[in-house]
Structures are given as C-alpha cells and as structure tokens.
Structure 1
Amino acid sequence: MLKNLAQNVIFNLKNYDYKWKFKLYIAVPIMTFLILFDWIVKWIVVAKMNENESLIFINGFLNIQYKINLGSAFGNGDSAEELKKTITLASLFVFALIVVFIFLNDKKWIIACSLLLAGGFANLLARAWAPPTIRNGEEIYGGVVDMFVWGFNFLGSANYIFNLADLWVNIGVGVGILCLIMELVSMFTKKNKTEKIEEEEVKDEIKS
C-alpha cells in the first residue's frame, strides 16, 4: 500500500503542471528586478548617509531616514533580543514561499507570490551585508537597512520606517487579497450558473 502511494505521488509530481515557462520568463525576472532595485536603494542610502540622518524626499509625502532595523517590518521590535527571532521567522517565511511558488500553477497567484518572495528574500539576504548598528555600546550585525518614512500621519503611518522590500511584501499581500476576491467571485458566478442550468433542466423535464 505504501509502495503504491509513493508511486502515485511520484507520478503526480512528474505530471504536475508547474507553469515553469511562465515562472522562468515572467516571475523570476520580476523578482530579480525588485530585489536588485531594493538593494541598489539600500546601497545608495548606506553610502551617502549616516545612520539616523534624515532628509525630505517629497515634501509632505515621503521622507528619508537611514536606520538599521534589528526587528521586523516597519521598524517593529527593533532590539537585539528580537534579532534572532526575526531572522528565524524571515527564513521560515522565505522557505515556505519558495515551496508554494514551486507548486503554484495559477498565473495571478504566481505573481502575488513573486512579490512576497522578492520582498522577503531581499530583506533576508540584505541582512548579510548591512553595516553594524550600535546598541548599548555594542556593534550588532544582522540588521536590515530601512529608509522611508511617510511625510503625513494617517493611522500612525508617520511612525513607521520601511524599505522597498517591505513595500513589495505589502503589494504582494494586496495582490493576494485581490486574487482571493476574484476566486470568490468566480466561484459564486459558477455556482449561480450551475443552479440556473439545473433549474432550466428541471423546467424542460416538467414541460416534456
């Protein structure tokens, strides 16, 4: 029984539609561009600014403040104690997304996953080259470079500091929600069509 199960699993994996062409020609280039764009912006900020230095980028809309964040997205949990936890969770997040990405075969969901993966992967790898930050007189490595702060305050938005990779993740979540809404609408529409067809068939049988 176990042998048959294993054979069925192998057969299904071999014949599964992974949408490799779409992933290789569309999704991977998108991820590569987003990761490189994020890294270039981080590199420019590190090269041109000192930590905690700030400047106005787009007055009233977006400011730049160079900060090395030891915690999670948007400057949350910025402490040495949170660093290991953040890196562990980020690694698990990226690994899970890679597995999901491999098996996705719906193009819209592949795009959503690509955005999430680009953001998560960019921040995780950027921790390897980010310069150290000083906490309690000690140099600490492994932080991620953040630089953007909203120039307006909407629901506390002015208190958040983030980078482009964080933005990719949030856009990916937004696209994922949109995909979910599309799926629900499609299911609802198909259900209504099926019910109408069944009603028509019942009416035809009654007439006949």
Structure 2
Amino acid sequence: MKQYIKMLLFVIILGGVTSGLLVGMDLLTKERIELNKQAQVKSAILDAYEIKYNLNTVHDIFDEEVTVIQYEGQDTFYIDNATGQISYIFSGGGVWGTIRGVITFEQDFKTVVNLSILEQSETPGLGGVVAEKWYLDKYKGIVFADSTPYIMIRHGSADNLSNEVDAITGGTRTSEKFEEILNTAYADFKAKWAVVGV
C-alpha cells in the first residue's frame, strides 16, 4: 500500500512540475509566437508587393511601405503605398481544415496580382497543391467578374475565361471549397472596399 502511495505522489509531483514548465514556457514564448504570426502575414504582403525585407526588418519596412485600413475594427485592407495595390486576408473551411491566405489586387480591385496561402490542411500531393507556388501563379492576371461567381475554378480542357482558373488535378473537393472561399471573401471585402476605398 505504501508503495502505491509513493508512486501516486511521484506521479502527482511529476505532473505538477511538467505542467508548470509547460505553462511557464507558454507565457515566456507567447509574445514571440504572436510576433512570428504577424511576421508571416507581413512577409506574404510584402512579397506580393515585391518589397525587399529580411526577418529583422519585416515589421519596420511593412510599417513604412504599407497603409493599413480597418473596416469597423474587424476586416483589414493592406495598401502598397507605391503602387496602390490592395491585399486582404481570406479564410474559410477547406476539405480537412481551414484554408487561410492573402490575395492581392491591382488598384481596380479586380485583377489578381498575387495569391499566397498562410495555412491549409489539405491532402499532400492532391488538395495540398492549393498552397504550391506553381499552382497559385495561375491566379496572376485573373480578373474577377463584376457579379457572382467572381472567380471560377473549372475542370476540363476548354480555354478559360478571364475569371477562370484550372482546378487541381485530383483535388476536386479542395478546388470547389477554394472557389467558395475566394468568392465569399471577395463579395464581403468588395462591399467593404466600396465604403473605405481610397
């Protein structure tokens, strides 16, 4: 009986110490983790605007080169001070989890300059292609339509219209979800840009 009590005390003490260490590490690294998340978004936006930076200067250069406009404290537009290009962060449910990224438009708020993915959980080699540069480069120059669907991700070999992009081979469901995410976000941000646009 004594042996079980000693073992129970050991487990309780060990659990308390490891829990304390984990909580302590969380508190110590929380600010750094948040800065890294911000740096990831800022890097994606600066890359879209082709502005040079490094990991030590990303925050300062972003603050100098990009104007940030918030709509009612929630959704944010990022504008390149030099070119007037406009970016926003989109997010929505993919097949296996959230797909979150940054899309950048010319001043017309229709023509895609760049598209990058910050987070996704799609199947590697299939739907996961949605985050690969060669696939995202297909969106450059695409012109969103004036009405819904603003952009279409289509299957087949017919020539694409100005608002159409080829679907991901073997990633049909991801393509459908991605199209839905882009259209929903664009409808939302387009209405807000009409209010706050400069």
TM bucket (normalised to shorter chain) is under 0.3
| TM-score where L is the length of structure 1 | 0.23
- Name which structure has the greater RCO, CA cutoff 8 Å, separation 6+: 1
* TM-score (norm. length: structure 2): 0.24
* Higher-helix-fraction structure: 1
Structure of higher CA gyration radius: 1
